[in-house]
Amino acid sequence: MKKFGLGFTVNHSFKLLTLFALAAVMILTAGCKAKTIRILTATGSDVYSRAVAEVYEKEKGTKVEIEHVPYHQLYEKIMISLTKGSGVYDLVDVPSEWIDGLASNFIPLNSYMKSPEKFIGEFYGIDYYSIGGNYLAIPWYGNANIGYYRTDLFEEAGLELPKTWDDYIDVAKKLTRDNIYGATVPGKRSRHLAMEFMSLVQDFGGEFLDKNNKPVFNSDAGVKALELLRSLIYEHKVTPPGALEMTYDESLTLFQQGRAAMTLNYPWAVGLLEDKSSSNVVGKWGMFARPGHSQLGMWGWAIPSDSKNKDQAWKFLEFLLTPEMQKKAAMEGLSVASRTVLADPEVLAKHPNLEAVKGGFENGFHPPRLAELEGILDVVAQHFSTALASRDSNPDLKKILDDAVNEVNSILEK
């Protein structure tokens, strides 16, 4: 057998070459597998995710596939994908109030974070994603429920922004005309309706759950909350005819079309309102602090336990959370979770509305942290939508609330 200078035989050399070739194939194959990650987010949020993904793909060579669904379909979509265990998503955008019910499906991020203190000090609302000291997601932006209004219509009518619910009704009545509605109501059976009620019951001095997580919203404050929503629809007639089939999403669409003078929603809507391809109100809207209590919720990225690309998912998440990417988002008006960016003079000079959003992060209320929360919200939304749909001029709202409380107690006692 012929030998080469280093003492290898042809046979030996062939075996080594074969091993090197196999190793190269394995490395390339592994690289290919990690060259695509899939993420799931809500419609609207995908605008920013897509922008970051484009930069990431160019810089890192990793393709990021983004799937988005309307917010009110997101929870079910997450549940279906995670219970199948198919590993279809590598990152999931999760509202903070859902994390307790979904916790078993996500991996703790502590080992990736290396220095959790750095993240804890930088991002608003990160504690909402902590269970037993494990951080299951990191917030990238947040939502404090706020009001949107048509600046042109307010200026034309010489109106000031509402500070109380009486002000809100008065302004809505003055601006309802010519196929433009003064306000919107998320009257459809949805968590949006449930969350709106949760805010209003506090505005009238009540509570949704007490300190022991027992439902106590069947109170005078609860009745007043439902009466306010009904009055906007039936008494003052300032909402569109389809209000009972609307969530915040459909209400925002109406506002985009230029057919609503005010609507309640969250800061994520900024991108949609400034999208010239779909919005008729570009440059003609502003934000205001909603009367009373503002619901607070963060959105954080979590890595599913069944993801096949956990390391690549984390690398993209790290990139998304960099000060550079967070500032770019804030400069487009997005309410990012970064304390540093929301204190940046350049950001606040361009988007002074973010000062109010920051105040919401610091002073708003977060929904109860219960694994049963989604079930509770669905139950109460069913009863509240019934209350709003009733054409009876004097429905028994107290009984409707009593029935809802009984059902919530049944859920909590299981």
For residue 252, what is the domain's CATH number? 3.40.190.10
Give the mean pLDDT of the chain.
Answer: 89
**pLDDT tens digits for 269-297?**
887 898 899 999 999 999 888 898 888 88
Please give the Cα distance from 252 to 260 (Å, whole number). 9
Both 138 and 151 in a single domain? no
What's residue 352's pLDDT?
85
Confidence class of residue 11 from pLDDT cuts 50, 70 and 90?
A: very low
Please give the Cα distance from 381 to 404 (Å, whole number). 9
Domain contains 14? no
Both 349 and 388 in a single domain? no
Provide the number of structural domains found in the chain. Answer: 2
Higher pLDDT, 17 or 161: 161
Both 139 and 149 in a single domain? no
Please give the Cα distance from 199 to 406 (Å, whole number). 21
What's residue 240's pLDDT?
97
What's residue 84's pLDDT?
82
- The three-class DSSP label of residue 159 is coil
Q: Is the pLDDT of residue 18 over 50?
A: no
Other Cβ atoms closer than 10 A to 97? 22
Please give the Cα distance from 271 to 334 (Å, whole number). 8
Residue 154: phi and psi, rounded to 5, are -65, -45
DSSP label at residue 163 = -
**pLDDT tens digits for 188-214?**
999 899 999 999 999 999 999 999 999
| Structural element, H or E, at residue 353 | helix 353-363
Higher pLDDT, 63 or 10: 63
Both 264 and 157 in a single domain? yes
Which residue type sits at 53? A
Which of 134, 138, 63, 181 shows the shortest CA–CA distance to 300? 138
Please give the Cα distance from 28 to 203 (Å, whole number). 59
Domain contains 26? no
Higher pLDDT, 357 or 265: 265
Which of 263, 262, 185, 173 shows the shortest CA–CA distance to 225? 185
Both 174 and 256 in a single domain? yes
Which residue type sits at 392? D
**pLDDT tens digits for 126-177?**
999 999 999 999 999 888 888 999 999 999 999 999 999 999 999 999 999 9
Please say which residue of 363, 379, 394 terminates a domain. 363
DSSP label at residue 180 = B
3-class secondary structure for 88-140?
CCCEEEEEHHHHHHHHHHECCCHHHHCCHHHHHHHECCHHHHEECCEECCEEE
What's residue 19's pLDDT?
37
DSSP label at residue 235 = I
Residue 94's domain comprises 34-143+297-363
The radius of gyration of the chain's CA atoms, rounded to the nearest angstrom, is 25
Both 50 and 117 in a single domain? yes
Both 345 and 396 in a single domain? no
Domain contains 25? no
Both 340 and 207 in a single domain? no
**pLDDT tens digits for 291-345?**
988 888 899 999 999 999 999 999 999 999 999 999 998 998 888 999 999 999 9
The maximal CA–CA distance of the chain, rounded, in angstroms, is 103
Q: What percent of the chain has pLDDT over 70?
A: 92
Domain contains 230? yes
Domain contains 177? yes
Please give the Cα distance from 66 to 42 (Å, whole number). 10
What's residue 8's pLDDT?
33
| Structural element, H or E, at residue 301 | strand 296-302
Q: Is the pLDDT of residue 33 over 80?
A: no
Domain contains 80? yes
Long-range contacts of 272-275 (CB under 8 A, 24+ apart): 272/44, 272/47, 273/148, 274/333, 275/47
Stretch 211-226: mean pLDDT: 97
Q: Is the pLDDT of residue 29 over 90?
A: no
Q: How far is CA 403 from CA 180, 230, 238, 328, in A?
A: 36, 19, 29, 48
Q: What percent of the chain has pLDDT over 90?
A: 68
- Beta-bridged to residue 209, according to DSSP, are 215
Which of 110, 112, 115 shows the shortest CA–CA distance to 129? 110
Q: Is the dihedral of CA 43, 49, 51, 57 positive or negative?
A: negative
Which residue type sits at 24? A
Domain contains 252? yes
What's residue 15's pLDDT?
41
Both 312 and 399 in a single domain? no
Residues in Cβ contact with 293 at an 8 Å cutoff, skipping those fewer than 6 apart: 199, 202, 203, 364, 365
Q: Which of 104-113, 166-175, 250-259, 281-290 has the lowest mean pLDDT?
A: 281-290
What's residue 363's pLDDT?
74
Higher pLDDT, 70 or 223: 223
Confidence class of residue 228 from pLDDT cuts 50, 70 and 90?
A: very high
Q: Which of 28-32, 70-74, 77-81, 199-203 has the lowest mean pLDDT?
A: 28-32
Rounded to 5°, the CA angle 79-81-82 comes to: 65
Domain contains 16? no
Both 54 and 184 in a single domain? no
